[in-house]
Amino acid sequence: MRLIIAVDGPAAAGKGTLAKSLAASLRLPHLDTGLLYRAVARQMILAGLDPSVDDGERTAQALQPADLLRDDLRVPDIDRGASSVATQPPVRAALLKRQREFATESGAVIDGRDIGTVVFPDADLKFFVTASAGVRALRRYQQLHGASARDEAALSALTAEIEARDRKDAERPVSPLRQADDAVLVETDSMDAGAVLAHALAIVRERF
Ligand code: C5P
């Protein structure tokens, strides 16, 4: 089935995990669009540029084909850098084209912030995955430090960081983080990854 499924939501809500497992279950390609913004931020930082400075010329230089499989794209500098470059219209325009090309031929599950609203407003199915900031921070913290680790100060710093990034993503004028009117809302506070996948697959099977 050549389906385009959009999975949007705030940071660390579980949308990447859902998109990846949904793609595997449905045998569709998966694109994590956050990696595109992260790769641009990384290239800017490596070139000695400040990702928070909006300068079309300099940003354009950072838009070379990027290696998206690097494991050093999920570090705090790049978290912040990616949400800065993501506010810049020339960056979004260049990445929009790449995202559409990726999915148009064989369908895909694509996760990000604006997939259901801007990149594929006519997607066959849209999910908006969310959870409270505290739950999202705890999940990210445990990913970084292991399931039994617990440092309240570090956890509250991470919660503040996640809230700041959500605010920046939701308040920017271009392609802000927003639930599409026709998206299925999935609140994952009390669901684990397996339950989220089962719920999403049930919706796919009901509709197609
Ligand atoms: O999803 P991830 O946390 O990897 O995304 C990193 C940043 O890239 C986000 O905070 C957001 O600013 C930006 N982004 C975006 N639009 C997307 C995907 C990511 O603006 N479709």
The answer on pLDDT for 70 being more than 80 is: no
Residue 165 Cα to ligand 1 midpoint, Å, equals 9
Which ligand 1 atom sits nearest the alpha carbon of residue 11? Answer: 3
- How large is the average pLDDT for residues 192-208? 97
Which ligand 1 atom sits nearest the alpha carbon of residue 74? Answer: 4
pLDDT tier at 68, thresholds 50, 70, 90: confident
Q: Which of 83, 100, 130, 161 gets mutated to test ligand 1 (max ligand atoms within 8 A of its CB)? A: 83
Q: 4-200: what fold?
A: Rossmann fold (3.40.50)
Residue 114 Cα to ligand 1 midpoint, Å, equals 9
The answer on pLDDT for 61 being more than 80 is: no
Would you say how long the chain is, in residues? 208
Name the DSSP class of 78. Answer: H
The answer on pLDDT for 90 being more than 90 is: no
How far is residue 56 from each of residues 5, 36, 51, 89, 170, measured CA to CA in Å? 31, 17, 11, 9, 22
Residues annotated within the binding site are 9-17
pLDDT tier at 1, thresholds 50, 70, 90: low
Chain mean position to CA 182: 19
Q: Supply 39's token pair.
A: 């790769």
Cα torsion angle, 31, 37, 42, 47, sign: positive
**Pocket, ligand 1, Cβ cutoff 6 A:** 11, 33-34, 37-38, 82-83, 86, 112-115, 165, 169
Cα torsion angle, 119, 121, 124, 125, sign: positive
Structure confidence by residue, pLDDT tens digits, 92-148: 998 999 899 999 889 999 999 999 999 999 999 999 999 999 999 999 899 888 888
CB 5 within 8 A of CB 108: yes
Residues annotated within the binding site for ATP are 9-17
User: Which among 84, 82, 121 is positioned nearest to 4, based on CA atoms?
Assistant: 121
Residue 37 Cα to ligand 1 midpoint, Å, equals 6
The domain limits of the chain are: 4-200
pLDDT tier at 62, thresholds 50, 70, 90: low
On whether ipTM exceeds 0.90, the answer is yes
Residue 174 Cα to ligand 1 midpoint, Å, equals 13
Structure confidence by residue, pLDDT tens digits, 139-188: 989 988 888 888 999 999 999 999 999 999 999 999 999 999 999 999 99
Residue 200 to residue 1: CA distance in whole angstroms? 16
The answer on pLDDT for 57 being more than 90 is: no
